[in-house]
Amino acid sequence: MGAPVIEIRDVKKAFGAHAVLRGVDLDVAKSEVVCVIGPSGSGKSTLLRCVNFLESYDSGSIRIEGKLIGYEETQGGPRRPMSTRKLREMRREIGMVFQHFNLWPHMSALGNVAEPLERVRGLSAAEAGERGRAMLKRVGLADKAEAYPGRLSGGQQQRVAIARALAMQPRLMLFDEPTSALDPELVGEVLEVMRNLAGDGMTMLIVTHEMGFAAHVATRIAFIDGGRVIDVGEPRKVLHESREPRVRQFLQTYHDRNAF
Amino acid sequence: MSFDVLWRYAPSLASGFGVTVFCWGAGGALGVVLGFLIALGFRAGAAPLRWALRVFVEVFRGTPFLMQLFLLYAGGPAIGLRLSATQAGILGLGVYSSSYFAEIFRAGFAAVPQGQVEAAMSVGMTRFDTLKRVILPSALVAALPPIVNTLIVLSKETVVLSIITVPELMYQAQTMAAETFTAFEAIFALAVFYWLLVEVVSRLGRRLELMATRFLSHEAL
């Protein structure tokens, strides 16, 4: 097996005096689906946002297929931020799906998917439209191509957002609580799309509160608290056999909340 | 009220109205364009430029238009800026209003949710494409109502141009009043013409806003 698709080493990050990440190590291998769980404020989303450098990290390293993101490779000495052009080139290969979808409201569903293909991949309008439609079909929204985000349900919007990221043919996908802003009855359709993606062998790093999804789809689960990875391993091991008191405590409250 | 005085002076009042509309249109257009460029500078410029623009906006927003106009028209020649009264009036209106338009555009840019910008960054779009394709469409629609509002306010600021003898509506009305001792008729004429202008502008503005909102949101219709 070659280098992991994502290699996170001793990543630290502080917002002012508040340390959010206190030395995180995590690898994601090709075609792996790693779910990151943990209490809110634990640094999960910040970690995810560091992977495509929407958020900068203070020290440590994050490598995408072996290439350091956000900073120029240096041998000792202070490191310099990566040029915006190089950063853009790396980001093209990293799909990202946001909690609040972040669709562009003045473009149709198809427009949202086709826009980056035209602007970034340099496809013609016709090619972009064709690939865009194929992507919308893949997430089950072939009939909504002309609809604007404001007319779509949350679940449909999120599926458009997934299609937008997917159309770029990324090497890996990041999901930042993709179902947290959705009404409960709309969560399933989004998870279904993600499950299919995982089945197709996409490398995925997912921050989520959907324990059921994590249990069934993840190859591994990482539990984060206080800016550190407390436990990581196969879903069964983390969810049912963890020796870490904080993991057990978190899962206990989770079970209590969902018992009725 | 003496209508035959109004009738007699109708041609000069009408020409004054024409000059008012022209100065207002040209000055407002200049102000919108300048203001937009200033707001772009705020967003993308280097720190010294942003600082200079901030001073510019504060000075022209913070001092009376009358004073600015006097300085420009009377003081301009001292720095080699020789302008006719009308040229000075248009330039003055443009610079003065640009400070307001700059703030309107800045607020419009800021109103675009950061998430939309992050989505563009995450797919690797350039800053220019992000500005052009993602930020501007939303920002301009958000800026439209306050722009129309400021244009309406500006239409009434044009009366100040009479002080430097631009032959606009106020100037013609004052001339009429002085020549015929008909203060009330002059005020009446001013009121009717300005009300007419504002009414037309605000109706046009409302229609534009409606179109813009439809273009942008497509939601909650």
Residues of B in contact with A153 (CB under 8 A): none
What average pLDDT is seen over chain B? 89
B129: closest CA of chain A, how far (Å):
7
Query: Is the CB of A115 less than 8 angstroms away from the CB of B115?
Result: no
Q: Is the CB of A98 inside 8 Å of chain B's CB atoms?
A: yes
User: How confident is the model at residue B219, as a pLDDT?
Assistant: 46
User: How confident is the model at residue B217, as a pLDDT?
Assistant: 59
Residues of B in contact with A151 (CB under 8 A): 218-219
Residues of B in contact with A96 (CB under 8 A): 119, 122
A206: closest CA of chain B, how far (Å):
16
Q: Is the pTM of this model over 0.90?
A: no
User: How confident is the model at residue A92, as a pLDDT?
Assistant: 96
Residue % of chain B over a pLDDT of 70: 96
User: How confident is the model at residue B220, as a pLDDT?
Assistant: 38
Query: Is the CB of A106 less than 8 angstroms away from the CB of B115?
Result: no
Cβ–Cβ < 8 Å for A68, A149: no
Q: Is the CB of A125 inside 8 Å of chain B's CB atoms?
A: no
User: How confident is the model at residue A230, as a pLDDT?
Assistant: 95
Q: Pick from B122, B141, B215 the residue to mutate for testing the A interface (most A CBs within 10 Å).
A: B122
Sorted by where each begins, the domain ranges of chain B are 18-167
CATH number of B18-167: 1.10.3720.10
Query: Is the CB of B122 less than 8 angstroms away from the CB of A105?
Result: no
CA neighbor of A128 nearest in space, from A141, A113, A148: A113
| pLDDT band, residue B172 (cuts 50/70/90) | confident
Nearest to A151 among B115, B129, B218 (CB): B218
| pLDDT band, residue A29 (cuts 50/70/90) | very high
User: How confident is the model at residue A259, as a pLDDT?
Assistant: 62
Q: Is the CB of A94 inside 8 Å of chain B's CB atoms?
A: yes
Query: Is the CB of B119 less than 8 angstroms away from the CB of A88?
Result: no
Is the pLDDT reported for residue B89 higher than 60? yes
Q: 36-55 in A: which are within 8 Å (CB) of B?
A: 52, 54
| pLDDT band, residue B102 (cuts 50/70/90) | very high
Query: Is the CB of A148 less than 8 angstroms away from the CB of B218?
Result: yes
Query: Is the CB of A96 less than 8 angstroms away from the CB of B217?
Result: no
Is the pLDDT reported for residue B142 higher than 90? no
| pLDDT band, residue B221 (cuts 50/70/90) | very low
In this prediction, residues B137-158 reach a mean pLDDT of 90
Q: Is the CB of A88 inside 8 Å of chain B's CB atoms?
A: yes
Tally A–B CB contacts below 8 A.
Answer: 78
pLDDT digits (tens, 9 = 90+) for A31-56: 999 999 999 889 999 999 999 999 99
Is the pLDDT reported for residue B97 higher than 70? yes
Sorted by where each begins, the domain ranges of chain A are 105-169
Query: Is the CB of B119 less than 8 angstroms away from the CB of A148?
Result: no
The least confident of A11-15, A39-43, A53-57, B33-37 is: A39-43
Per residue, the 3-state secondary structure of chain A, as one string, reads: CCCCCEEEEEEEEEECCEEEEEEEEEEECCCCEEEEECCCCCCHHHHHHHHCCCCCCCEEEEEECCEECCECCCCCCCCCECCHHHHHHHHCCEEEECCCCCCCCCCCHHHHHHHHHHHCCCCCHHHHHHHHHHHHHHCCCHHHCCCCHHHCCHHHHHHHHHHHHHHCCCCEEEEECCCCCCCHHHHHHHHHHHHHHHHCCCEEEEECCCHHHHHHHCCEEEEEECCEEEEEECHHHHHHCCCCHHHHHHHHHHHHHHCC
Nearest to B121 among A91, A115, A168 (CB): A91
Query: Is the CB of B119 less than 8 angstroms away from the CB of A164?
Result: yes
In angstroms, how far is CA A246 from the centroid of its own chain?
24
Residue of higher predicted confidence among B26 and B185: B26
What average pLDDT is seen over chain A? 93
B8: closest CA of chain A, how far (Å):
54
Which residues of B lie closer than 8 Å to A, measured between beta carbons?
113, 115-116, 118-127, 129, 133-134, 137-138, 141, 215-220
Out of A160-174, A235-249, B195-209, the most confident range is A160-174
User: How confident is the model at residue B30, as a pLDDT?
Assistant: 97
A182: closest CA of chain B, how far (Å):
17
User: How confident is the model at residue B186, as a pLDDT?
Assistant: 85
Residues of A in contact with B131 (CB under 8 A): none
pLDDT digits (tens, 9 = 90+) for A198-255: 999 999 999 999 999 999 999 999 999 999 999 999 999 999 999 999 999 999 888 7
The least confident of A70-79, B69-78, B118-127 is: A70-79
Is the pLDDT reported for residue B171 higher than 60? yes
Q: Which residue of A has its CA nearest to B219?
A: A150
Nearest to A91 among B115, B123, B215 (CB): B123
A248: closest CA of chain B, how far (Å):
34
pLDDT digits (tens, 9 = 90+) for A55-76: 999 999 999 999 999 999 877 7
Residue of higher predicted confidence among B161 and A97: A97
A247: closest CA of chain B, how far (Å):
31
Query: Is the CB of B115 less than 8 angstroms away from the CB of A102?
Result: yes
B212: closest CA of chain A, how far (Å):
10
Q: Which residue of A has its CA nearest to B120?
A: A116
Q: Give ipTM to 2 decimals.
A: 0.92
| pLDDT band, residue A2 (cuts 50/70/90) | low
